[in-house]
């Protein structure tokens, strides 16, 4: 009901910041329905946390096939408030940082491209005590990321957990992140880029991921990398998550993927444009539907795709972002949670 109402309001121009796109498209957004999706602060939650029953009471339902959205739709604000309070999953809350962001998302397509528009309110700057100058990423006030996966279970749990499948307890700034000395001394330093620590990765690239942490085992799997041939085979088979990102300060558009690590280049390319006007951020995206580049998902308009979003606002970085639950993207499909309409 909430998404239907937002679609009506957008059609009437209530949320419109200008009807026509500026990012190289000619989409008239005033008639495109939208979903209002709430992104929330996730703290230190990880895939290992989701899959451990003593951490996450919803593990049983999740393992039976329930999506995170099935249990937690319309609870995002409450979850964000709880985590930001420091009562759960955040040992060092940032006082004054907002716990959730309501984002209006529109999607359209033609025969060659997918177009998306995102709008959300800006917020007052909250200096961060542990960052020089109070800004974790002083170059970029905002970063917007989009993660895509096919709906055929090639990436385990992508259809249930969305981008959480890429987020692990041993990633940079997470509870069990290895220190620089450990990473520098690892034989994997020749295979993975540890410049920013351990980045996002998928189970499909590891021989094992420890969930429970019993018998002295360390949770996670950053150091259990499969050999290069196995990882290449997984990439060729589509066992990856496509990653698109916009950096507001530099205006850079990045097209990469996640498998063994986060790779922010190599795709066919994506076009983003963004602006801040009257207290509202507007970011538009244009992406070709099909690609022959590794790490890119070729999209067919008769299929559904798993999609999730993240916003690093207020010069934030690493885990200090806001994220969505996982949703279904479709084309001219009213049953899809995000429906790209033909134009």
**pLDDT tens digits for 303-312?**
999 999 999 9
Mean pLDDT for the chain? 93
Q: Name the band, by pLDDT with cuts 50, 70 and 90, for residue 225.
A: very high
Strand partners, 115: 108, 286
Residue 79: which residues within 8 A CB-CB, separation 6 or more?
Answer: 40, 72
The candidate with the shortest Cα–Cα distance to 241, out of 169, 167, 316, 166, is 166
- Strand-pairing partners, residue 272, are 285
Residue 191's pLDDT band (boundaries 50, 70, 90)? very high
Question: Average pLDDT, stretch 195-221?
Answer: 97
Question: Which residues share a beta bridge with 34?
Answer: 106
**CATH of segment(s) 2-342:** 2.60.40.1190
Of the candidates 284, 211, 223, which has an alpha carbon nearest to the alpha carbon of residue 251?
Answer: 284
Q: Which residues contact 122 (CB under 8 A, 6 or more apart)?
A: 276, 279, 280, 281, 313
pLDDT score recorded for residue 250? 94
Query: Cα separation of 51 and 5, whole Å?
Result: 35
Strands 305-312, 143-150: pairing is antiparallel
List the domain boundaries for the chain. 2-342
pLDDT band for 3, please (50, 70, 90 cuts): very low
Residue 219, pLDDT > 90, answer yes
pLDDT of the residue at 63 = 96
Average pLDDT over residues 237-261: 97
Q: Is the pLDDT of residue 286 over 70?
A: yes
For residues 136-159, give the mean pLDDT. Answer: 96
Place of tokens 């002295």: 216
Q: How confident is the model at residue 22 (pLDDT cuts 50, 70, 90)?
A: very low
In angstroms, what CA-CA distances link 103 with 4, 69, 245?
Answer: 15, 16, 16
DSSP state of 182: H
Average pLDDT over residues 277-287: 98
Task: Report the percentage of the chain scoring pLDDT > 90.
Answer: 91
The answer to whether 308 and 324 are in contact (CB under 8 A) is: yes
Task: DSSP letter for 61, please.
Answer: H
Mean pLDDT value of segment 296-316? 97
What are the beta bridge partners of residue 287? Answer: 114
pLDDT at 196: 94
Res 215 pLDDT > 50: yes
What pLDDT, in 10s, does the model give residues 61-78?
999 999 999 999 999 999
Residue 280 has pLDDT above 90, yes or no: yes
Question: Residue 2 has what pLDDT?
Answer: 46
Instruction: Give the pLDDT of residue 26.
Output: 78
In this prediction, residues 36-63 reach a mean pLDDT of: 97
Mean pLDDT of 77-81: 98
User: The tokens of 70 are what?
Assistant: 């099935």
pLDDT at 25: 66
Q: What is the per-residue burial (b if ≥16 Cβ within 10 Å, else e) of 210-234? A: bbeeeeeeebbbbbebbeeeebeeb
Q: How confident is the model at residue 19 (pLDDT cuts 50, 70, 90)?
A: very low
Kindly tell me if the per-residue pLDDT of 4 is higher than 50: no
User: Contacts by 225-229 with C-beta closer than 8 Å and gap 24+?
Assistant: 225/188, 225/191, 225/192, 225/260, 226/260, 228/191
- Nearest-angstrom CA–CA distance, 252 and 286: 14
């Amino acid at each position: 009901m909430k998404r239907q109402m937002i679609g009506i309001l957008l059609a009437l121009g209530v949320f419109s910041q200008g009807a026509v796109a500026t990012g190289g498209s000619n989409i008239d957004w005033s008639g495109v329905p939208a979903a209002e999706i709430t992104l929330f602060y996730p703290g230190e939650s990880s895939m290992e946390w989701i899959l451990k029953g003593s951490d996450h009471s919803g593990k049983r339902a999740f393992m039976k096939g329930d999506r995170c959205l099935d249990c937690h739709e319309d609870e995002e604000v409450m979850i964000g408030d709880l985590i930001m309070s420091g009562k759960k999953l955040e040992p060092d809350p940032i006082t004054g940082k907002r716990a959730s962001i309501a984002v209006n998302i529109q999607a359209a397509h033609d025969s060659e491209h997918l177009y998306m528009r995102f709008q959300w309110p800006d917020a007052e700057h909250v200096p961060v005590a542990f960052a020089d100058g109070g800004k974790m990423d002083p170059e970029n006030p905002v970063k917007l990321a989009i993660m895509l996966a096919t709906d055929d279970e090639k990436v385990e749990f992508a259809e249930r957990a969305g981008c959480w499948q890429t987020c692990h307890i041993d990633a940079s700034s997470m509870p069990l992140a290895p220190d620089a000395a450990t990473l520098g001394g690892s034989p994997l330093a020749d295979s993975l880029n540890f410049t920013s620590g351990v980045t996002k990765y998928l189970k499909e690239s590891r021989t094992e991921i420890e969930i429970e942490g019993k018998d002295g085992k360390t949770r996670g799997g950053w150091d259990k990398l499969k050999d290069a041939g196995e990882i290449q085979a997984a990439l060729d088979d589509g066992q990856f998550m496509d990653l698109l990102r916009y950096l507001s300060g530099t205006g850079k558009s990045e097209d990469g993927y996640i498998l063994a690590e986060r790779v922010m280049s190599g795709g066919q390319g994506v076009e983003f444009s963004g602006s801040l006007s009257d207290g509202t951020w507007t970011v538009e995206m244009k992406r070709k539907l099909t690609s022959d580049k590794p790490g890119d998902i070729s999209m067919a308009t008769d299929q559904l795709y798993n999609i999730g979003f993240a916003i690093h606002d207020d010069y934030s970085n690493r885990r200090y972002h806001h994220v969505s639950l996982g949703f279904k993207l479709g084309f001219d499909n009213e049953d899809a949670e995000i429906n790209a309409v033909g134009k």
